[in-house]
């Protein structure tokens, strides 16, 4: 791949990871939700805002580990991908989860931006998968659940 094309692809992936290209950035939704609303499951929906966000974090965390850790061990599906409760134990736990999500996203972005990490080459954890494949999964998964967070947020707050 030409160096210029490679850089353009990496930059595009980063923009999509941060959101705002085809969907509202997750950061914006996180800023709007009140702590007291995190554990509420709106009528007719199966999950709370907290549960959905935890799931987004866990999937991103798992895929980052899969891409970066040659000694990767897969979590148990589905139990490890969802929290035990409907809401965080306290505000500190919530803040740590949000902080972890954002810092791990930046770690993944730095990994993508490192030209030594081949976008199309095989991963050490699975030679049938590439970094590009995994990043696209994170983008798709996050955008899907970001839409769900937006719906939950609207039902809880009554606004956009």
pLDDT in tens, 4-39: 899 999 999 999 999 877 778 899 999 889 999 999
Q: Is the dihedral of CA 114, 59, 135, 143 positive or negative?
A: negative
Which residues, including other chains, have CB under 8 Å from residue 102's CB and lie 6 or more apart? 27
- Give the separation between CA 99 and CA 54, rounded to whole angstroms: 12
pLDDT in tens, 97-152: 999 999 999 999 999 999 999 999 999 888 999 999 999 999 999 999 999 999 99
* Topology annotation, domain 3-157: 1.20.120
Domain borders along the chain are 3-157
pLDDT in tens, 35-59: 999 999 999 999 999 999 999 999 9
| pTM, full prediction | 0.94
């Amino acid at each position: 791949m030409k160096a210029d094309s490679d850089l353009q692809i990496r930059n595009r992936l980063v923009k999509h990871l941060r959101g705002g290209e085809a969907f509202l950035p997750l950061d914006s939704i996180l800023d709007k939700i009140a702590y007291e609303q995190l554990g509420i499951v709106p009528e007719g929906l199966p999950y709370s805002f907290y549960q959905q966000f935890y799931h987004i974090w866990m999937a991103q965390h798992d895929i980052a580990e899969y891409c970066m850790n040659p000694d990767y061990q897969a979590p148990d599906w589905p139990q490890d991908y969802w929290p035990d409760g409907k809401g965080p134990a306290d505000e500190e736990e919530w803040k740590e989860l949000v902080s972890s999500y954002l810092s791990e996203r930046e770690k993944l972005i730095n990994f993508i931006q490192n030209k030594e990490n081949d976008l199309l080459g095989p991963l050490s954890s699975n030679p049938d998968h590439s970094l590009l494949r995994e990043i696209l999964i994170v983008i798709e998964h996050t955008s899907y659940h970001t839409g769900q967070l937006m719906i939950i947020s609207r039902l809880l707050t009554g606004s956009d």
